[in-house]
Structure formats: C-alpha cells, structure tokens
Chains A and B, each alone.
Chain A
Amino acid sequence: MFEARLVQGSLLKKVQEALKDIVQEASWDCTSSGLSLQAMDGSHVSLVQLTLRADGFEKYRCDRNLAMGINMGSMSKILKCAGNDDVITLKAEDTSDRLELMFESPKGEKISNYEMKLMDLDCEQLGIPDQEYSCSIKMPSHEFARICRDLSQIGECVVITCTKDGVQFSAKGDMGSGTVKMSQNLGAEKEDDQVTIEMTEPVQLTFAIKYLNMFTKATSLSGSVCLSMSNDVPLVVEYKVEDMGHIKYFLAPKIEDEDNDD
C-alpha cells in the first residue's frame, strides 16, 4: 500500500509540468524514504531526476517499494483537474495497476477522485555518480529561463562559459549572435535574486538550447536555479522543490567533434 498526502498540491502540479515535456513515460519509484523518478528524454541526451522526500508529505506510507509506470501526459491531464490550493493524495495498492488521485479543496467541500492506469515500464536506470563540479552557478530561475528563451531565438546551441568574472551564455546563428553575461551579484536583497558563482577552474561547454528550454519549465518551482558544470561532463540544472526535494536535469554537452556529423 502506498499513500502520500501532499497539502501543497500545486507542487505536484508544477513538478508534473516540469517533467512532461521532457519525458513521455516514466517510472515513479516509491520507497519508504520518498518518491523519486529518473528518466531520459527520447533522444537520450538529457536526463531528469526528481526526488520528493517522504517528510515533505503530510502523510506518507509506503509498505513496499513500488515502481509505477506512468504516462506523463495522462498524469498531467489528471493533475490539471486539481486546483492550485487542493490537497492531493496519491494512493496505490501494492498489486494494483492503478494509481488513485484524490483532490480535496482547501475547505473540504469538494473531493475529486481520479484513477489512472499504470503501465509496465522497463526503464533503464542510470547510476549518477556524485561528482564535484568545477563550477556551480546559482542564479534567479527566471533569469535563466529568460536567457535560454532569448538565445534560442539566435541559435540552436548555447556556449556557457564560466570564469571568475561571471558566467556567459552565447549563441550563434544564421542571423547573428547573442551573448548574455551574468556577473556575481551578492547584493540582491532576496536570496533568490542573488547570482553566486563558485568555481575551481574555468569551464566552457556547449549545449543544445532546446533541452535547456525544456528544463526551464521547472522555473515556477523555485526562485533560483543552480547550474553545475565541469568540462566534458553533463551540465546539471537543479531546481529545489520547496524543502522536500529537487528536480535535477542532466544535459550532455555537445562535444567538439573532428568527425563529421551524421
């Protein structure tokens, strides 16, 4: 029996919105410690990893580890039926192939129940090594979203260059090029508005903007975003989910290839 009651139901809605563009089907792993999800996009270029700890739920019960294969589109449709203020409860029997979702309006006068069919997914799980990154940049999430959106107008690739001066995003395209530079800014009043750069060595990596733009769907989850980079390893874009977990997106860099492109 799995049951999780989340008072702040909007969080789950936002999480779902942040996931559904990048993965169509994913396996939600329910363990006693919490909910987690790991999935790659269809082209196996990026990977998203979600963690929602058990203590973030008002009520959490997981008798047996479950892997719920969920069609993200369907889940998204159902979660759209929930109000932003609703309390969301997820329930699944150990043997059942259905997930029950219950939405309670804040005053309890309206209770909606939905059932979603689960799928049998054969998911490859990747082991993500803990890694020290050469650079980690924390910046306002809306700024990052804005930069990705703007530069996606210019070109398909963004070069992220992190030096001690700051972090620079640049894109080139047929019509020209664009560069956005963010300098470290610790003076902002809100912590979310601060730009902090921690680095041990300068990094320059190239990424496909379209994936970054998919990552920024999580912008509403958190006021700040953390980018972690090292040369020749995937970029990590991390959004905190309140105090109960995080969404981490991993994006493989574009590698300067002496070979031709296929």
Chain B
Amino acid sequence: MENFDSYLAAVDELVDDENKLVTYKLVSHQLALPISRAKQVLENYAKHNTGVSVVHTLTGKTSKGLRVSLVREVDLDEAKARLDHVVSSHPYSVQKTKLKDPNPLYSADYEMTKTTLFKCGSCSAIKYSGSKSLTEEEIQQMKDSMKKVTVEDTMVTTKNTSPKNATKKPASQKGITSLFGTKPQKKTSQTDTGLDQNETNKKKEVSTNQEKIQKKTEKQENGPAKQSTKKPSGMNAFVKKGKIDPFAMKAKTSPKAKNSPPKVKSPQQKSSAPSISEEEDNMEIDEVDSPPPIKNEVKTDDLLDEIENQSKKPNPQKKTTPKARNKPKAKKPRTNSGELPAKKRRRIQELSSSSEEASDDDFNDDVIPPSPEPLMAKSGNVIKVGGKNAHKKRVLKSHTYQDKDGSMLTEKKWEEISCSSEEEEPVTNSNKNNGGAPEQTIKTPSPEVKTALKKNKQASIMGFFSKKSSA
C-alpha cells in the first residue's frame, strides 16, 4: 500500500499544486495504472480530501435504455434518483474548483488522449504474455506487401479506366494527353516493383518485359497500356516534332507511307493477335531509333493514334475504316509488298535525312539572306548621303532675329549648306531660333529634306502674349 499512498500524493500534487482537473485517464496515464486502479485512487483521494469537488460517471438504466452521465457530486443523489437502476458510479475527475459547465471536462484530457491514442492499452491490467512486438524487418515486410497490393490495385484500375476515358474523349489530342496522364502512374508502379525485387539496375528492362508479358496475356485493354510503355520514344518524338515541324512538311508524305503498312496490318491482325502486331511495331521503332527522329515521331504518333482509336472504341472497325480510307490512298502505291516497307524505310530514311539536310540548308539560306539584304539597303542609303554631302555649298546668309530686348537684328554669315544631312544644318541655323517668331525664308535644300526636317517645336507662351507695361 506504500504505492497507493504515493499515488495519492501524486494525485494531490496534480490537483492541489498544479491546480489541474484530474481525470482517471490522467491518473492512469501519469502513474501507469490500469483504469480501474486509477479510479480507485481517485475515489480514495476524494474521500480523504473533502475540499475537492468530484465528478462522477454514473451509469444506470432508465425507461429509455442505458444511460451514462457525468454528474457533479452535488447532483449525484438526484441523478441516481432519476435512474431506475444504478449500474455503476465511479469518480470521473477530481478538481479544486467547482465546475459550472462541462467544457473543462472535455478539454482536460484532449491533448493527452490525442498523443496516447494508439497506446491506450499500455496500462491495461489485462496482459497477454504470448504477445511480442514486431521486429523492424517484419514491419518492413508488411509495408512492402502492402505496397504491392496497392500497386496492383492501381494497375488494375488504370487499365480499367483508360479505355473508359478513351470512350469518353474521342478527340485524338485528348487521347494523347490521357495517355500521358496514365503513363506516370504505371512507371512509378513499375519502379516500385523493381525496388521490391532489388533489381534497380535492370528496372526498365524488367518492367517493360513484365508489361509486355502482361499485355500479351491480357486483352485489348492493354492497347493503351502498351502505348504507355512505348511512350518514352513517343514522348521524345513528340517533343522533337515540335522543333522539326517545318522539315516534317517535306518528310511527312514519306513517313506516312511507311506508317501505312503497319496500319493496314494492325486492324486486320488485331482481332486475331493484336499483341504480335504491337510487337512488330516495337521492332520497327527500335530499328528506326538510330536514324533521324522525324520518322519516329510521325510513326509513333500515328501508331499512337491508331492504337488509341482501336483501343478506345469497343467496336473499332467503324472508326478505323474511315481513317483507313483516308490514309491508304497514300499508302497503297508504295506498300504493295509486306516486307518491302522495312527496306523502303531505310532508303527513305536516307532520303529524308538528306532532305532534312537540304531543308536545313534551306533554312540557313532563309535565315541568312535577310540580314545581308538590309545591310545592302542601308549601305546604299549611306552612299547616297555621302554623295549629297559632297554637294555642300558655302552661302552668304542673312539672319533676322529678335533680340532679348525685342529689337530685330539682322546678321550676315557664311554658312555651309548640305543638301542631305540633317545633323549639320542645326549647327548652321541654330543662330536663328530665338524666342521670336521665325519669319525667314531659307534656301531649302529639297522638298524631301524639308519634310524630313519638319519637327514640332514648342513655342513659348511669351511669343503670344505681350508683357504688361504695368507689371
């Protein structure tokens, strides 16, 4: 019972010295006591210290059912009387002040319960000796397994959702964006699995392989998913495409022709073995990887579009056929034999690369010429000006101007008049402009120059109003 006294002392410290509202939960937590024991401590403390007020947890039966209420000691008897049958009455809290409203009761243990929410059983009187805590490894394993599950879930969901989205948004561009949207999720998921297997080095290969395998096993829905695996190339191509678009104008026709064979194939084979056709597409792209990017872009894009369209629509025949109508016209002439396209591709690649270079040259040509031309023009101007400068004349001029005192003065000066240059005239004529009204007729060089020289000069207000003599 020494312990018990020390408990009482601790409670007394809390209640009396720290002036706290001490609930049985606080006691339990502070003294590491089971709840029932904590209640006993409180009850005991309340008995010994009559000065404190106690709030009781009163449980009882009423006509409506079980009723649990917190009751002040003052109201305890009354509350008990209202119950048909009192099941239990424990002390809930002990405090020095008399409570006027229940708020302190709620707020008292709020912080404590928040922090100890997950160790609520730590002080329990009921123990199970057989239980032991998990080691860190075990916890890690658990987490990993949890991850796997979630990853799989996401995989499934994305696969399921992507076709839905596709059906919702038929626009081709949106389809691409949706692909971009789905892509990262899968990538991350792949990397996660890769991490799990500690094959970080081979991550990509493994993941792509895995995906391929998965897709083979799975049905049409895989279409968009597979595109996502290709995306890296598709993305690059997409980015590059923007840059090289001008060139593509020339190259377009040929790549389309190249693309056409797979297109023709894919719709046909698709029903029978879509995965194979897709693999072929992959192969093609891999082959093309080394040569200039344009083809990749166009191809992959077209492929993406195709596959999107196919995958998006549950009955793809309808929509693929119209496209097939449009594109085959270009395709057919060049793609008569199934095997030719690969060779042709290479040839065309060279051609296209050469055409690219040519186009590059064209571009350079386009870019460079403009700069010389203006130079030429400018230089031409300069030469003209110089020519005019040669015509400078020395002329005796008479200037009339108004003096500061208001008297008119005339001066004769030898001046050089240049027909063209604007800068020199100012120097020569600067004498003329004094506040007064300019009246002179100058030998004007030429009408063109005159207009060029015309500038708005700010007149002074003094020129318009005469001074008052009175002032």
Residues of A with Cβ closer than 8 Å to B? 40, 43-47, 123-129, 157, 206, 208, 233-234, 250-262
- The answer to whether B454 and A258 touch across the interface, beta carbons within 8 angstroms, is yes
- Nearest A residue to B451 via CB reads A258
Check A258 against B442 for contact (C-beta < 8 Å).
Answer: yes
With A259-B429, A260-B426 in contact, do A252 and B453 touch (Cβ < 8 Å)? no
Q: Lowest 10 A-B CB distances belong to which pairs?
A: A125-B471, A260-B426, A257-B457, A254-B456, A126-B465, A252-B459, A125-B468, A252-B461, A127-B468, A44-B460
Residue in A43, A126, A262 whose beta carbon sits within 8 Å of that of B466 in the complex: A126
For window 436-471 of B, CB contacts with A under 8 Å fall at 438, 442, 444, 450, 453-468, 470-471
B441 to chain A, nearest CB (A): 10
Contact of B459 among A126, A157, A254, A262 (CB under 8 A): A254
Question: Does B432 interact with chain A (Cβ within 8 Å)?
Answer: yes
Q: How far is the CB of B423 from chain A (nearest CB, A)?
A: 8
- Say whether A252 contacts B433, CB under 8 Å: no
Residues of B within 8 A of A261 (CB): 426, 455, 457
B426 x A126 contact (CB < 8 A): no
Interface membership of B425, Cβ < 8 A? yes
Which residue of chain B has the shortest Cβ distance to A253 in the bound complex? B459
Known: A124-B467, A234-B464. 11 other contacts (CB 8 A): A44-B461, A44-B462, A45-B461, A127-B465, A252-B459, A252-B461, A255-B459, A257-B433, A258-B454, A259-B425, A260-B430
In the complex, are the beta carbons of A262 and B461 less than 8 A apart? no
> How far apart sit A123 and B457, CA to CA, in the bound complex (Å)?
26
Contact of B426 among A124, A157, A262 (CB under 8 A): A262
Q: How large is the interface on B (under 10, 10 to 19, 20 to 34, 35 or more residues)?
A: 20 to 34
Q: Which residues of B from 317 to 350 have beta carbons under 8 Å from A?
A: none
In the complex, which of the residues B429, B438, B463, B466 contacts A252, with contact meaning CB atoms closer than 8 Å? B463
Query: Which residues of the partner chain B approach A251 to less than 8 Å between Cβ atoms?
Result: 461
Please name all residues of chain B whose beta carbon is closer than 8 Å to the beta carbon of A47 when the two chains form the complex. 461, 465
In the complex, which residues of chain B have a beta carbon less than 8 angstroms from the beta carbon of A253? 459
Closest chain A CB from B395 CB (angstroms): 16
Q: Is B453 touching A256 in the complex (CB atoms < 8 A)?
A: no
Contact indicator B465/A128 (Cβ below 8 Å) = yes
In whole Å, how far is B438's beta carbon from the nearest beta carbon of chain A?
Answer: 7
Assess the B471–A123 pair: CB atoms within 8 A. Answer: yes
B422 within 8 A of A: yes
**Nearest Cβ on chain A to B100's Cβ, whole angstroms:** 49
Complex CA gap A250/B453 in Å reads 27
Nearest B residue to A260 via CB reads: B426
Whole-angstrom CA separation of A157 from B456 in the bound complex: 9
Indicate if the CB atoms of A127 and B433 lie closer than 8 Å.
Answer: no
On whether the beta carbons of B433 and A126 are closer than 8 Å, the reply is: no
CA distance A252 to B425 in the complex (A): 25
> In the complex the two chains form, what is the Cα distance from A135 to B330 in whole Å?
72
Of A46, A206, A233, the residue contacting B456 (CB under 8 A) is A206
Beta-carbon contact of A260 and B464 below 8 Å = no
Cβ contacts under 8 Å, A44 to chain B: 460-462
- Docked-complex contact A257 and B454, CB < 8 angstroms: yes
* Chain B residues with CB under 8 A of A157: 456
A-B contact pairs, 6 of them (CB 8 A): A40-B461, A127-B465, A250-B461, A250-B465, A259-B426, A259-B433
Are A259 and B466 also in contact (CB < 8 A) when A157-B456, A251-B461, A254-B457 are?
no
